[in-house]
Structure 1
């Protein structure tokens, strides 16, 4: 087994789509030296509780009483890894946090741990791609108001394949096209190798983020303590994406609310709201032109929805 490495997989919903990932981590076909010391599934208060007997042998199950979101579920797993468990060796000093909708190549955990070892303590991620090979741009620069305003502009949506737009969205193209271990501002939360003690010393993930942006917030706080982030550009995981979002409307609400929280903590939330409001005005003009050209779009309804998200999303979340 990979001594000192634990894996945490948060789940909310059916365990069936997650079983393939668990088999890739700890199934009968996994070589012992590719197997994490512990693998923990955190059931984040799924409506139908995860059945422990459905899990591969050796995979632990922790069930939360309340659905707290990604960060809260991961914190639950990290705290468990920090404590020695009878029959499972000592405490784990590194945690491999994985989204439940991932697929991993053979030997992934041991390769990532080996590549990351000389750089510890650090946060390490890897490339992620969709099933059809499209990049998820796992390496990013820390968010700015400009990044988020550009993303909100509908007229630019068709141009996101251009390098200038990727950079304007905060995608780190140098890391994306690099090799080996590349220093970055932050890496996607789909795959995160975390130093357990250092993360828990900061209080773990901020549980005020229900979903989205919590990994950025964590890596920014770790950076202030001298803990860097890296992209392992030689490893790729397949990420379905959106598996826990519960629909586009809810996803957008969580995303905008999370970004407003991040801006309240680390930036200027009023400037962000003003910038996104201006972008919505541009979207209204653009959509009005599309409607005049015969496209099936409702400019005023879209504008009302956008403004509601900008000025209301996240206000009921803890500050």
Structure 2
């Protein structure tokens, strides 16, 4: 028994693993919290767009020798602003606007990386490097996470109403435009924070999967917030921990675990799972047949 415990705590004996587990849990919690709003608003594609649109900002930051967070965040805000501008000034559908903008920004990032290959590591941007995260980068991630959680904690009711019904929010006197900008800014900031943990490719999973899972488990938004945040923390912590023994990519382990939990909820959620829905449908059919009685 002692040997088993000693074997299980081996990862925590290494400072890089301890940092990776704790930072992953923090980022997972923030992404999970914001994931509920992304799910309610139907902004899954927007999250994907912003996670890819920060790539040129990261590349320019590495080239200029400035903190990557600054470049990524500015690029994310510019991409969000570009989408809003095109949508407001044309008849192009929102999904087409998002697709055009995020692919354009991502392509620009790839061009910059190809022009300065010695200064920018494409793998770090695309897949993350949580095991090699430096102390200064940890401070940046913690700062972004705390600010995001603070804003969400103060404005979650207003943001919930905006996501559910923007027109009702305007009727009640809320500034829907400012809430729209706030949510976009938080989404960009969180994508930047998660970039270190799982990279640009898998950020979208951390911003969508916990909220989608919680959505299947409850009908109350307050409960959904706690569930998605908890799922984000636990799956990120366990995924980062398991990556040591599996010798696999940390981001891949985290997202794979989140997907597994989502599939469990998809099939076995008490009310909205596939099994529960089929059983309820069968029960209704049997009830109708019973109430109709034998045919004459």
TM value normalised by structure 1: 0.24
Higher RCO (C-alpha under 8 Å, 6+ residues apart): 2
TM value normalised by structure 2: 0.25
The answer to which structure has the higher strand fraction is: 1
Larger Rg: 2
